[in-house]
């Protein structure tokens, strides 16, 4: 079965940095578009970043543009989210997502059918 496991969350001060990782198993990782989403208490799920299956194209959400970046390492079956200049409003549970279908045209996180990880908590507070 497909497994997505996030790690790297924690408590950081405003202005600090954090790097999240998502490890995928169960099928050929390099065939799938990947994305990060987040959800804060009482708020809707929000798109954060996405990367195409071949790593050639990325899209970053407007609220984190210029501060966050996404990358993947197909040799390790991982996708990372680098978060810099963190703000209190970045506090949320961050989820890794993988397209269900192989080698789909890149929609920048707008695809509808995904597998999801369990999430990792990021808290930004002084």
Bin 4: left if φ > 0, else alpha if -120 < ψ < 50, else beta. Answer: beta
* Structure-block tokens of residue 56: 């050639």
Under-70 pLDDT residues of the chain:
none
Biggest CA-to-CA distance, the chain: 42
Q: How much of the chain is helix, strand and coil, in % rounded to 5?
A: 5, 45, 45
pLDDT given at position 111: 83
pLDDT given at position 112: 85
pLDDT one-digit tens code per residue, 43-61: 999 999 999 999 999 999 9
pLDDT given at position 11: 98
Nearest to 72 by CA among 110, 32, 105, 41: 32
pLDDT one-digit tens code per residue, 62-76: 999 999 999 999 999
Q: Any idea what DSSP says for residue 77?
A: T
Rounded distance between C-alpha atoms, residue 11 and residue 77, angstroms: 26
Angle of CA points 103, 36, 111, to nearest 5°: 45
pLDDT given at position 1: 87
């Amino acid at each position: 079965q497909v497994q997505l496991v996030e790690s790297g969350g924690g408590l950081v001060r405003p202005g600090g940095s954090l790097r999240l990782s998502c490890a995928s198993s169960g099928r050929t990782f390099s065939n799938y578009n990947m994305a990060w989403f987040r959800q804060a208490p009482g708020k809707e799920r929000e798109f954060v970043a996405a990367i195409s299956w071949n790593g050639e194209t990325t899209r970053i959400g407007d609220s984190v543009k210029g501060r966050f970046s996404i990358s993947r390492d197909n040799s390790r079956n991982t996708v990372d989210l680098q978060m810099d200049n963190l703000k209190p409003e970045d506090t949320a549970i961050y989820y890794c997502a993988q397209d269900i279908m192989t080698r789909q045209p890149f929609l920048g996180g707008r695809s509808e059918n995904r597998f999801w990880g369990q999430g990792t908590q990021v808290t930004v507070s002084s």
